Chains A and B, each alone.
Chain A
Amino acid sequence: MRGYHDLGGLPAGPVAQSEHDCAYWEKRADALLVLLSAKGLMRTDELRRGIESLGADVYERLSYYERWIGSITQMMIEKGIVTIDELGRKMAEVEAREGGVR
């Protein structure tokens, strides 16, 4: 088996060399992992495993920090740090306020 992420040696086109800043939400995603790690709730290895488990289609569609959030969300549910119900209600609240994309 070869993980979709494990693409060393496969053709992948040229590397985009443009400089770009992280969006504010991306910095918060990074900080979230640091916090979770400091509290012993999630390890970098678990983050990676979660990203690798997203599936080829989702992996391809999501940006770097979107993949982080995908992985963190899954881990938080599995570990009982948030419930699906809590998450769904909060997401609906944010979506109503911000007009989000599902």
Chain B
Amino acid sequence: MSPRFAAGARVAVRSAFPPGHVRTPYYIRGSTGVVERVCGSFPIPEELAYGRHGLPARALYRVRFPLREVWPDYAGAAADTIDIEIYEHWLEPA
């Protein structure tokens, strides 16, 4: 399965809030960022956490978010960002 997104792509984190073992932090859901790099493809933690094999492997992306968009009252520099590694199935084109 080849990666859906390339470095530089604008992506949005899906606003889904399921229970269970999820590696996409709650606070970043619904935010939009840019793919900084494609990290590779790996079995997914949501399945590995329950003793399953986590296949097919999914692409993992390092996504860069402007902090001013993540935190409504962020008072730091406009250029400040945060990088979070997020699996492909949590991302949509933005």
Chain A residues with CB under 8 Å of chain B are 1-3, 6, 8-9, 43, 45-46, 48-49, 52, 79
Chain A interface mostly helix, strand, loop or mixed? loop
User: Across the interface, do B25 and A8 meet the contact criterion of CB distance under 8 Å?
Assistant: yes
**Total contacts A to B, CB within 8 angstroms?**
37
User: Across the interface, do B48 and A1 meet the contact criterion of CB distance under 8 Å?
Assistant: no
User: Across the interface, do A48 and B49 meet the contact criterion of CB distance under 8 Å?
Assistant: yes
User: Across the interface, do A1 and B17 meet the contact criterion of CB distance under 8 Å?
Assistant: yes
A3, A6, A9, A45: the one within 8 Å of B48 (CB): A45
Chain B interface mostly helix, strand, loop or mixed? loop
Whether A43 contacts B17 in the complex (CB less than 8 A), given A8-B26, A8-B27, comes out as no
- Taking CB as reference atom, which chain B residue is nearest A53? B21
25 A-B interface contacts by CB (under 8 A): A1-B17, A1-B18, A1-B19, A2-B17, A2-B26, A3-B22, A6-B26, A8-B26, A8-B27, A8-B28, A9-B25, A9-B71, A43-B48, A43-B51, A45-B21, A45-B45, A45-B48, A45-B49, A46-B48, A46-B49, A46-B50, A48-B21, A49-B20, A52-B21, A79-B51
